[in-house]
Structure 1
Amino acid sequence: MQTWPVNPAASSACVQASSVARLVGAIASQDRTALASAILHTVQAALPSQHCAIFAHEASRNPRLLSGAGEGGPWVAIKSATAYLRDHYRADAMHQMASRRPAGIAKGEVVVCRERCEDIEEPEYREACFTALGIRERLTVLMRCASDSWLSVHIYRIAGQPSFSAQEVDTLVGLAPVIAGCVARHYASDIDGETGFRDTVTGDIGELCPSLTEREREVLMRILDGVTVNRIAEDLKLRPTTVATYRMRAYEKLGVASRRELFAAVLRRHALAQSQAPATQEAGRTGTALLHAA
């Protein structure tokens, strides 16, 4: 996989006013095709592409699709995303780079990545997410939006089309700051509440029991997402019995015995934090008032 750093200060790419308006209108849109469609429309003039998919990669969780679109409709992007999210994202060199610890990209940094079908070593990933869907090549705008959160925008070119040229890659590098900014604002708007919920649960789990190991937290977060033990085992490349052992140890540390009790513990922790917040804020205001009085 090839990568190119993005320097917003050096970007001289021009975007048509109609494309800007479409991008701005797609931010926070509840239409799951809107943002991907607007990005595809923006890049089409300079680097013709057929499909676009946008993903969020959050902490130790499975990635999720934020938006998908294509010239003939969103179905190819959605089918590719479904196979990718279900079975193959761990084989993606881009995902491996994003999840590396310590991270090789600083918070707020943006890079452009390139992955050709013929360069993918994992045959099942290559077949399911590229060959079977007639996809030849992918350019990705990858941005790190938080310490453990990443956003990726995939631009796909189909078989029968020429490979992306060096000039087209340079064009996407120039457009990347605009694309990254729009996607980051769309993600921050949290239109479906899922981002806030997942972030809250992740934080609550850590605060409920700081002694949880990383593997135990990974297992618990997937359990809260409704993922089965067998599916978790596949995701983490572990045996189901090993996952069950991590679950048992985590439950013992938290003092719960089931997923329902785990949910209840997280909800109680979150409700307690919310109830204490106004009191803390009032104490802060009172302290400030006393300082001013003094």
Structure 2
Amino acid sequence: MSLTVRKIEACLETIGSEAFAPVYVDLVATLDVDQIMVFSVEGDRARCLLSYHFSNAALAGKLAAAYLDGWYLRDPLLPALQSAKPNSVQLRCFEEIASAMDQEYRRMFFDAPGLLAKTTVLAVGESLRLFVSFYSSARSAGSSDPDLSRLAGQLALMHFELVEDTGIPAPLTVLSDREQAVCLGILSGRKTEAIAADLGVASSSVVTYRKRAYGKLGITSRAGLFAICSR
């Protein structure tokens, strides 16, 4: 059994659980990309479900927050995602959309962060419409294995549709229970000491859980947390 097959099986075994994110990111690493973004677009709102840069977590969080701040409306693939039929998966490469991309959008999400190539899977299920995008700083990467890219898009759709009805903001479903609790406390406006009292742990433990959560989410601040959890 190949290493890639084992990674796919690990994803299937953890779909719907907090263990999914790390094994999924491990699978995506085989695509030889620098960054993965998963966004859900429903009507006139977008949500970030996963943002991860393999060498610069802060960059992933920054780009995700910017995308949610109205830039997603200028995504040249948005019409295709909105019109896609349920239970469908489409693969789009950077070359197909480059000409339809306005200069400001390209500067923000490609030129400035040094990302040159992109493969996006438009994954549409019964309740979610997802952009699952793989970015690379090299044009030769990111689209080398279209079949694996499609599969990665399908796995993301399966996972996030399964956890959609938990009542927890989708981005937080990749965290441990304690990390989720800390982030939910932050989102509700509670201070570190109050969150610590709620969980029955020391304030220093809350800080540790927060750092771990931010690292997994690809963010560096409270503002980033609010941005990726915005609805």
Whether TM-score is above 0.5 comes out as yes
TM bucket (normalised to shorter chain) is 0.5 to 0.7
1:40-189 equivalent positions in 2, closer than 5 A: 40-45=25-30, 47-58=31-42, 60-99=43-82, 103=83, 105-116=84-95, 119=99, 121-146=101-126, 149-158=128-137, 161-164=138-141, 168=144, 171-177=145-151, 179-189=153-163
The percent identity for this pair of structures is 18
For structure 2, the residue ranges without an aligned partner over 5 or more in a row are 171-231
2:117–2:142 CA contact under 8 A, matched in 1:
no
Residue 28 (structure 1) aligns with: 16
In the aligned structure 2, how far is the partner of 1:183 from the partner of 1:195?
Answer: 15
Structure 1 pair 191/156, CA: closer, same or farther in 2 (3 Å)? Answer: farther
TM-score by length of 2: 0.60
1:193 Cα deviation (Å)? 1.2
2:76–2:101 CA contact under 8 A, matched in 1:
no
Q: Secondary structure at the match of 1:124?
A: helix
Q: Identify the structure with bigger relative contact order (alpha carbons < 8 Å, sequence gap 6+).
A: 2
Count the aligned residue pairs.
168
Q: Which amino acid counterpart does residue 82 of structure 1 have in structure 2?
A: A
- Greater Cα radius of gyration, structure 1 or 2: 1
For structure 1, the residue ranges without an aligned partner over 5 or more in a row are 1-13, 197-294
Q: Secondary structure at the match of 1:185?
A: helix
TM-score by length of 1: 0.49
In the aligned structure 1, how far is the partner of 2:3 from the partner of 2:87?
Answer: 22
2:135–2:142 CA contact under 8 A, matched in 1:
no
